[in-house]
């Protein structure tokens, strides 16, 4: 598998947690709320477990607890925040821990229709045998209803109002009517069914959620990670996974990780003080962007370098990843390199000097 879902990747750990879990479980949950939290946030010494459970999502404990409590109620959960803040990853971990199935997903786009959240028909089966439950193709959401598990809806605000209205009925009535059938024409949700939706705060205005739909969700806002220690842990965690997946043996020097973190912190500060959108990079400058920059640099070093991560390669990857508009983004990066990186390289030298040279060369190439 190119990328295993969380319930497959952590199957052995989930089995172990389930075997020692003696807490009360809502509905058909596989783990109790406390064990779900422990699976996501990792174990502590005070938990008194025989083995360590690694932290998989890095963020405020209260966000995870509120999300779990919401899913134990009859309301849907809406995770909202800037791109790259880990909303989808948190949704996947929650579904994996609660239902052992995180793959019942609908991707919201302008082309998403009611069929994608309700059902469609197998045309050849309908022609051969007529419309029946056997010739019906249930959506991931309907499958989640029938099984009493968690369904996921990614990028909810990118779907049209018709699709959002259809979701209102599912969340409020907890059943789907199939008017094409005379018998067995209602699918009722089993206990344990709920929906985790995600939405990007930057998509506000694309297809705003109606007041009726908002009432069916509890909102959990996931902020951008600004704490350097937490952000470094996230980047390290994802980098280890990346190296393992690609079977690459390559060290990431702590000094280069510090440079990456500091560069993003500087660029975020510049974006916050910018007077207009033209003075801001198009990139969200999220933690996910940092991971993407580091992944690009690692792969380039492994395939085209000497299998050692260099500051020049990191700088080139950063410029190449963040310069999406020409000439606006290039001008912003050029200003940053001359106004911030150059003085820092003179003061600290070392890797900052190599980072300065690599960035200058990349900006020059793209200009």
In this predicted model, what pLDDT tens digit does every residue of 215-245 receive, in sequence order? 999 999 988 777 777 788 888 888 887 888 7
pLDDT 10s digits, 23-76: 999 999 999 999 999 999 999 888 889 899 999 998 888 999 999 999 999 889
pLDDT of residue 46: 84
> Would you call 190 helix, strand, or coil by DSSP?
coil
Q: What are phi and psi of 80, to 5 degrees?
A: -125, 140
Crossing angle (nearest 10°) for helices 287-304 and 311-322:
130
Classify residue 312 as exposed, middle or buried by CB count within 10 Å of its CB (0-12, 13-18, 19+): buried
Question: Residue 225 CA to chain centroid, in angstroms?
Answer: 13
Nearest to 282 by CA among 202, 198, 199, 207: 202
Task: List, for the chain, all residue ranges whose pLDDT scores fall below the cut of 70.
Answer: 202-207
pLDDT of residue 128: 93
Q: Which helix (H) or strand (E) holds 107?
A: strand 105-107
For residue 323, the number of C-alpha atoms closer than 13 Å in the C-beta half-sphere is 23
Crossing angle (nearest 10°) for helices 254-273 and 351-366:
60
């Amino acid at each position: 598998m190119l990328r295993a879902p969380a319930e497959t990747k952590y199957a052995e750990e989930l089995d172990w947690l389930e075997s020692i879990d003696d807490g009360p479980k809502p509905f058909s949950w596989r783990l109790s709320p406390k064990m779900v939290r422990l699976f996501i946030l990792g174990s502590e010494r005070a938990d008194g477990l025989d083995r360590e459970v690694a932290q998989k999502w890095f963020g405020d404990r209260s966000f995870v607890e509120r999300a779990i409590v919401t899913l134990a109620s009859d309301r849907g959960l809406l995770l909202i925040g800037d791109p790259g803040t880990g909303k989808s990853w948190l949704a996947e971990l929650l579904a994996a821990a609660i239902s052992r199935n995180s793959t019942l997903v609908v991707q919201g786009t302008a082309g998403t229709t009611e069929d994608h959240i309700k059902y469609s028909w197998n045309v050849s089966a309908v022609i051969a045998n007529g419309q029946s439950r056997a010739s019906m193709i249930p959506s991931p959401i309907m499958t989640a209803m029938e099984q009493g598990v968690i369904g996921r809806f990614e990028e909810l605000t990118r779907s049209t109002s018709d699709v959002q209205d259809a979701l209102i009925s599912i969340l409020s009535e907890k059943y789907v009517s199939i008017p094409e059938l005379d018998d067995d024409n209602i699918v009722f949700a089993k206990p344990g069914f709920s929906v985790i939706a995600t939405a990007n705060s930057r998509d506000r205005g694309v297809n705003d959620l109606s007041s009726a739909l908002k009432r069916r969700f509890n909102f959990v806002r996931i902020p951008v990670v600004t704490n350097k220690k937490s952000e470094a842990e996230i980047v390290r965690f994802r980098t280890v996974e990346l190296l393992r997946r690609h079977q690459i043996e390559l060290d990431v020097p702590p000094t280069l990780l510090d440079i990456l973190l500091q560069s993003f912190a500087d660029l975020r500060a510049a974006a916050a003080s910018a007077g207009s959108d033209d003075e801001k990079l198009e990139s969200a400058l999220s933690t996910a962007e940092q991971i993407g920059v580091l992944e690009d640099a690692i792969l380039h070093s492994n395939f085209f370098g000497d299998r050692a991560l260099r500051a020049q390669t990191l700088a080139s990857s950063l410029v190449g990843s963040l310069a999406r508009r020409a000439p606006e983004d290039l001008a912003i990066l050029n200003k940053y390199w001359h106004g911030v990186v150059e003085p820092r390289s003179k003061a600290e030298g070392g890797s900052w000097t190599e980072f300065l040279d690599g960035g200058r060369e990349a900006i020059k190439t793209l200009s």
